[in-house]
Amino acid sequence: MSTVTKRDYYAVLGVGREASDDEIKKAFRKVARQYHPDLQTDSKDKKKSEEKFKEANEAYEVLSDQESRKRYDMFGHAGGPQGFGGAGGPDFSGNFGDIFGDIFGDFFGGRGGRERPQQGNDLQYNLGLSFEEAVDGKEAKLKIPRWEGCETCRGTGAKSSSDTKPCPGCHGTGQIRLQQGFFSINRTCGQCQGAGQVITEPCPACHGRQRVYREHTLSVTIPAGIETGMRLRLAHEGEHGVNGGPPGDLYVAVTVKPHPVFTRKGNDVVVELSIDMVTAALGGKVEVQTLKGATSVKIPEGTQHDRILRLKGLGAPSLKRRAAGDQLVRIKVAVPTNLSARQRELLAAFAKERGASSNGPGDGLFEKVKTIFE
């Protein structure tokens, strides 16, 4: 009488004897996907895959149970009085509902069990701020259109508690048992979508959807110093979930509008200041705009074009530390145009004194004057 030698269950699933329960479950999922007979097209492959699939199921049935795994580790396939994998084979209608629902949910049309709670969607609100609002911060009122739980039916979808009845398709279980080849599997009831109940009279406010679409108003604190591209996360302010699921989150994406005078460089605020070449050469005091109003700035003698003057603490606040940035004043030296005859005479004398020469208009006198300050 010939005998068939069974393969080691750990080898069947491709794991070591020290494998955790989670590793065994993951390994079984991989093998089950590979050898599921209903996914094979060739008849020869299908028969071979069916044997492999049975073998994997048998291995998983033993190794997924702590007691049977201990017996197998001690006695091998003998595993006790009746051994493992007897003539009748493993019983696939037992504890495999969850894992097969997880592995083949899409293939068989959904996972078994009652309809699970579903988290609401996250939402994003695009908020435009002026330059000053971004620097100073503000309290913003937002109007958010979103799905919210129906207050009339309290999320049941029914007009009243008496307007529901057990689903006739699944008899209130939320599942329908299907026979797939050599094993059976539970799938979500399509009539009640796994709820186990059907609504006979829907809620007049939400029409059975459990949620209503409305505009929600909330106040948001915009921190001082925020910049374009930053997002604020408001937990649980997104759309409400269904079947008792939690709400999603709301993200406020910030865009700062350009300013006609100021630009931003990190926490520093940059402004350009035009001065005449006399002030640049001799120095003096000029007025410059800041975020806190006009202030007087001292121009050092011999200030060059594009020089940066720094006004400490007059920039934007930092989101990470208390110290604010600075205001950077970029100097632009303006060369005069439309000179009078007397002004030309004086500039020519000045150029001669500096070693330059002028033979009249168009000979580059003003270019030479500009080089004096460079």
124-177 pLDDT, tens digit per residue, is 999 999 999 999 999 999 999 999 999 999 888 899 989 889 998 888 888 887
Task: Work out the average pLDDT over 220-234.
Answer: 95
Model pLDDT, residue 196: 84
Residue 80 has pLDDT above 50, yes or no: no
pLDDT for residue 82 is more than 60? no
Look at residue 237 and tell me whether its pLDDT is greater than 90: yes
**78 — pLDDT class (breaks 50, 70, 90):** low
Q: In this predicted structure, what is the pLDDT of residue 158? A: 92
Closest among 19, 103, 2 to 57, alpha carbons compared: 103
Q: Mind listing the domains of the chain with CATH numbers?
A: 9-102 (1.10.287.110), 119-151+211-258 (2.60.260.20), 263-372 (2.60.260.20)
pLDDT band at 279 (very low <50, low <70, confident <90, very high): very high
Would the pLDDT of 95 be above 50? no
Provide the whole-model pTM: 0.58
Mean pLDDT check: name the lowest of 16-30, 124-138, 345-359: 345-359
Confidence label for 41 from pLDDT (cuts 50, 70 and 90): low
pLDDT at residue 134 in the model: 96
Average pLDDT over residues 62-82: 74
Of the listed ranges 71-85, 243-257, 311-325, the least confidently predicted one is 71-85
Average pLDDT of span 170-194: 76
Of the candidate ranges 53-62, 136-145, 289-298, the one whose mean pLDDT is the lowest = 53-62
